[in-house]
Structure 1
Amino acid sequence: MNNDKNNFVLFAVFAALILFGWPYITRTFFPAANPPVTKIEGGKTKAIANPSADPTAYSPAAIRDRNVVLAEAPRVRIETPTLKGSINLRGPRIDDLILTKYDETIAKDSAPIRLLSPSGTQDAYFAGFGWRGAGSFAPPAADAVWQASGTVLTPSSPVTLTASNATGQRFAIRIAVDQNYMFTVTQTVANAGTTAVPVAPYSFVNRTGVSKDPDSWTIHTGPMASHGGAADYGINFKDIDKAPANLMSKGGWYGFVDKYWLTAAIPDQGSDVTAQFRAGANKSYQADYTVAAKPLAPGAAITTTARFFAGAKEVNLLDNYEDRFGITHFGKAIDWGWFEIIEKPIFKYLDWLFRMIGNFGVAIILLTFTVRLIMFPIAQKQFASMASMRAIQPKLKTLQEKYKDDKPRLQQEMMALYKTEKVNPLAGCAPTLLQIPIFYALYKVLMLTIEMRHQPFVAWIKDLSAPDPLTPVNLFGLLAFTPPHFIAIGVVPILLGISMYFQFKLNPAPMDDTQKQIFGLMPWVLMFVMAPFAVGLQVYWITSNLLTIAQQQWLYSRHPALKTAPAK
């Protein structure tokens, strides 16, 4: 009896550690879902405004209005199906870019995502192109104003920017853009001077401030590169605050990743480059590369082609660019991690279901049906094993009493009993163990892929990649206070706890009273653990629990010994 009490106390302590320590664990290893895009006030669903959509929010006094900065230099407009913005002819720089397909929030009047902003504005973020000066070779200065061949850059009308220097070199940068987010930049130097000059093209991406998305063990955000034939997730803002990161490679790409957005300077994949990540003043960070210098003789010209990506990390699009242009590991800008072999097929299947049905929540439910259908034969073996284990419980109890003071002998006799009765005590764990990688893969898909961002389900659930905003703690918004995150358990997590409770009730009751108490508390502990995660994960788990209950009822009819109390 004392042992039972001690076991229960240990479980209670363990459960408390989970409840109070879980927020720290999730922040470190499993970032919670995206911040809720809605809240419940007065029993109604309202979109939450994003402060970053307001250019004056949290702006230091030295930061100027974006429209003022944009008017300070001549510009070429950018107009594509997915992008709007402009090229700054001083530099030149691509420093003004809006992603027209994606909004800050789900509100109808939400501003679109602004990815790039010129230097001197809030969250400055821009890219530039040029040549390194060496010896007598002097490319146009960083503040030089270039001449443009047109006023608008579209997928069907590239723009060429030109400039010259005092020693006879003429410079041209031809910028083209496709229907999505890839710019092709062709840099040409023609030498009309009297001596050879060393030509070393470069490109850079510069941003102010670190990523607003946390960098975690499972999802990398911040500086990222592909070099030496591998994707490098090991560079972060804190590291380059201490010292620059210097890289040498053939081709590759260098830039910054957020959860959903990417900027990448991409040299010709056959060129030898020297790249670096470095920190500057006022929390600015830069990724840049320089192509190995080549001598340019008088009367000759050198042309190099590079690319610049600025846009959304759409899975199929990144993979297409990787294959089409041979960009090494470009698809790994999405941090799939070790489970990519499972995550990508799940994404492809979910994406296909969503396109067929039009509701991502229903797609998750159908994914659950598919997983359970595939695992049905394994579940049958699990229940058969559980029935056999229940039938030999009296014999196990006898052995435990007989050899309670001789643990090695007890283990030996139990293994002999399993062999005689042809029972595998681990067989019942197989479905649960097989679902763990699938569940984790779905977590990564919901967290990483922009295709799942802001996808609604039903009623108040406006974003399946965010936590449930509806909680009874404040009477669904009728009380004018926001409950602490720890106790703001949403309706969907509560339904998850209820479904787990009934599933556990259908399982064979343990013979040990302490185990019964532990299993009775487990659903409610897991309800708190799962509350901060994406609603889509909870929908998957609830559906899985309901299917398990139905499957258990059907399999009980085939294995009545599982419900029958074991003979004594």
Structure 2
Amino acid sequence: MKEDQKNFLLFAVLAAIILIGGQLIASRFAPANPPVTKIEGGKTKVVPNPGADPTADTAGAIRDRRQVLAEAPRVEIDTPTLKGSINLKGPRIDDLVLVQYKETIARDSAPIRLFSPSGTQDAYFAGFGWAGNGLQPPSADTVWRASGTALTPSTPITLDAANATGQRFRIQIAVDEDYLFTVRQTVLNAGQQPVQVASYGLVNRAAKSKDVDGWTVQVGPMAVENNSANYDINWTDVDKEPQRFSATTGWLGFTDKYWLTAMIPEQGHSFDGQFRTTPRQGYQADFSGAPVALAPGKAVTQTTRLFAGAKEVALLDRYTDKQGLTMLDYGIDWGWFRIVEKPIFYYLDWLFRLTTNFGVAIILLTITIRLLLFPIAQKQFASMAKMRVLQPKMKALQEKYKDDKARQQQEIMKLYKEEKANPLAGCLPTLLQIPIMYALYKVLLLTIEMRHQPFVAWIKDLSAPDPLTPLNLFGLLNFTPPHMIAIGVVPILLGISMYFQFKLNPQPMDEAQKQVFAILPWVLMFVMAPFAVGLQVYWITSNTLTILQQRILYARHPQLKVAAAK
């Protein structure tokens, strides 16, 4: 029907404006924070982070990881979610594996490696230290004494070091059963002179993330500054110049699509944060706390949290709500429709735990959404039916006042009022579906909970495109079709469902429109093919329910079908 066609085109245009225009508006009116500055000698100068470790960089030559791990004494890390070790030279947390997540869906796939020592492939690590006037902290080559051989949720580790002036340094590291380290840095001034003490923490990585940074998913540098999430910093910005800020609450680090490393200073205390490149083309996020005056015989302790792990929605929410880690849940870039996306995710996750199959959960979610929108759809069809009945009268008015457009519009509006018809009523379901569709798209794209989740048969990963294509006889022929034409079975089913949905609608009178709507299902099939299978399952289910819904509503409003047939 013509109204349906207009609504579909309206849906496409509005969706494009929201998906593409949103990022442009955000980047125009919400620029990244300027660097921290100070007035010195009558001139404005950028304030460097005193706590940034200039030696914290990756080595030039790539070496075997096992060899590097054996070069220095280490403390084992052993939790239900993490395996690895702490390098006592430094010290650094530079060996970390996420044991509950694998690289691929293959049974023998290796687990995800998050941290790797300096000098190895994809080096990535965290470190802690101090700076300050009169302070002589241990160097990067200092080997610290450890209180034990293994860090577990029930056995924290204490690292000690000292210098010749009597200053003693201690780092106490604890870890929970998930991905959160608590690091307490203590300095005891046993010397004769007062000193300034500022603790710092850093996260250093040798290269950019392998995930793609886009306007729908934040990948790369990220910070939360004074209760505001900053998604505007990217690799290119850091390449040009250091990105600095000051805050009293928040965190900074690097985010991948599914993984996050966040250095979280003590909340409520001022700190300076920055992102910068390293001498060997790596990247570093670091912070330094405000200097504290430490008198002889006194000690000072400053606490930092380090999150290094998977961006599990419920876990990040718990850390934010229960442990006061300011806006750590914003490590997931939900975007504009966060208020819609998170309830959809939690309902979808509940359905998954109920059915143990994410594909079935997506189908049940789609049915739920369609049931919620069904009363509105009824009103839409009733309005469309009335508009169909009024079409002959409208055409008569258009013909009668074809030379007086103002009078024509006036008479048509009068007709609407007399007949109690609303030409915009049919747009409401379309407008409601835009945030829902986009929210589901973001949920399926962002959340690790659907990563590597199987559905049925050959669909082993709902977060990836359909791998099965008839172009190579479903893998029987020994060749891989080009990506642009390697249309999977599920996208083909999507195109078929859209074809029958459009077929159920009355054909437009205009030949050009008729040709456009004839090829539109197959164009959308190619457009949707690279998307996650989970999103395609949603759309196929939605199309099927729409066809069923149209049949029911045609039966309730026969005048709509009769008018369309005429």
Q: Which moved more, 1:255-264 or 1:296-305?
A: 296-305
Paired with 2:114 and 2:501, the residues of 1 have a C-alpha distance of: 46
The unaligned stretches of length 5 or more in structure 1 are: 1-10, 30-59
Q: CA deviation at 1:519?
A: 2.4
Following the alignment from structure 1 to structure 2, what is the Cα–Cα distance between the partners of residues 122 and 407? 71
- The one-letter code sitting in structure 2 at the alignment partner of 1:88 is N
Q: Which amino acid is 1:295 matched to? A: A
Of the structure 1 ranges 85-94 and 266-275, higher mean CA displacement relative to structure 2 is found in 266-275
Code of the aligned partner of 2:97:
I
User: Does the 8 Å CA contact 1:245/1:276 hold for their aligned counterparts?
Assistant: yes
- Residue 39 of structure 2 corresponds to none
Partner of 2:540: 542
Mapping 1:516-527, distance limit 5 Å: 516-527=514-525
- Counterpart residue number, 1:78: 77
1:49-128 superposed matches below 5 A: 62-128=61-127
Q: Which of 367, 370, 394 is residue 368 of structure 2 equivalent to?
A: 370
Task: Give SS of 1:172's match.
Answer: strand
**1:139 corresponding residue in structure 2:** 137
Higher relative contact order (CA 8 A, sep 6+): 1
Question: Per the alignment, in what secondary structure is the counterpart of residue 95 of structure 2?
Answer: strand
Distance (whole Å) between structure 2 residues aligned to residue 401 and residue 491 of structure 1: 49
Structure 2 residue 210 is matched with structure 1 residue 244? no
Q: Which residue of 2 aligns with 1:453?
A: 451
Q: What is the Cα deviation at residue 175 of structure 1?
A: 0.5
Question: How many Å apart are 1:401 and its aligned residue?
Answer: 3.8
SS in 2 for 1:173: strand
The alpha-carbon deviation at position 521 of structure 1 amounts to 2.3
CA contact (8 A) 1:391 1:567 kept: no
Structure 1 match to 2:190: 192
Q: Distance in 1 between matches of 2:71 and 2:401?
A: 87
Q: Deviations over 1:307-366 (max 9, x none)?
A: 111100111111111122212111000001110000000000000110111000000000
TM-score scaled by length of structure 2: 0.88
| In structure 1, C-alpha distance between the alignment counterparts of 2:565 and 2:476, rounded to whole Å | 55
Q: SS at the partner of 2:336? A: helix
Structure 2 CA distance for aligned equivalents of residues 473 and 410 of structure 1:
55
User: How far is the alpha carbon of 1:496 from its aligned partner?
Assistant: 1.1
Which residue, 162, 173, 176 being the options, matches 1:175?
173
Distance 2:295 2:60 in 1: 50
**Residue aligning to 1:49:** none
Q: Report the identity percentage.
A: 70
Q: 173-182 or 234-243, which moves further after superposition?
A: 234-243
Cα contact 1:211–1:258 (8 A) shared by 2: yes
Distance, in Å, in 2 between the alignment partners of 1:465 and 1:411 is 50
Change (3 A) 1:224 1:77: same
- Output the CA distance in 1 between the equivalents of 2:508 and 2:564: 11
1:508 is matched with which residue: 497, 506, 509? 506
Deviations 1:82-111 (A, max 9, x none): 000000000000000000000000000000
Aligned partner of residue 274 in structure 2, secondary structure: strand
- CA contact under 8 A between 1:276 and 1:288: conserved in structure 2? yes
* CA shift for structure 1 position 407: 4.0
| Shift of residue 243, structure 1, vs aligned partner | 0.7
1:133 Cα deviation after fit: 4.0
3-state SS, counterpart of residue 139 of structure 2: coil
Q: Describe the shift of the 1:514–1:416 C-alpha distance in structure 2 as closer, same or farther (beyond 3 A).
A: farther
Q: Does the 8 Å CA contact 1:394/1:566 hold for their aligned counterparts?
A: no
Q: Secondary structure at the match of 1:99?
A: strand
Alpha-carbon contact 1:508-1:562 (below 8 Å) kept? no
Do 2:506 and 2:564's aligned partners in 1 also have CA atoms closer than 8 Å? Answer: no
Q: Distance in 2 between matches of 1:119 and 1:208?
A: 8
Q: Cα offset for 1:404? A: 4.5
| Distance across 2 between alignment mates of 1:432 and 1:193 | 72
Deviation at 1:480?
2.3
CA contact (8 A) 2:60 2:119 kept: no
TM-score in terms of structure 1 length: 0.87
Gaps of 5+ in 2: 1-5, 25-58
Contact 2:132 2:291 (C-alpha < 8 Å) held by counterparts: no
Three-state SS of the structure 1 residue aligned to 2:136 is coil
The amino acid across from 1:118 in the alignment is: P
2:336 corresponds to:
338
Mapped to 1, the partners of 2:404 and 2:479 lie a distance apart of 59
Q: 1:129 to 1:430 in 2, by over 3 A?
A: same
Structure 2 equivalent of residue 384 of structure 1 = 382
- CA contact under 8 A between 1:394 and 1:567: conserved in structure 2? no
Letter in 2 for 1:77: E
* Letter in structure 1 aligned against 2:160: T
Task: Write the distance in 1 (CA, Å) between the matches of 2:242 and 2:85.
Answer: 30
**Per-residue CA shift, 1:448-495, capped at 9, x if unaligned?**
111111111111111111111111222222222222222222111111
Q: Counterpart of 1:248 in structure 2: which amino acid?
A: S
The one-letter code matched in structure 2 to 1:236 is N
Post-superposition CA distance 1:491-522 (Å, at most 9, x none): 11111111111112222333434333332222
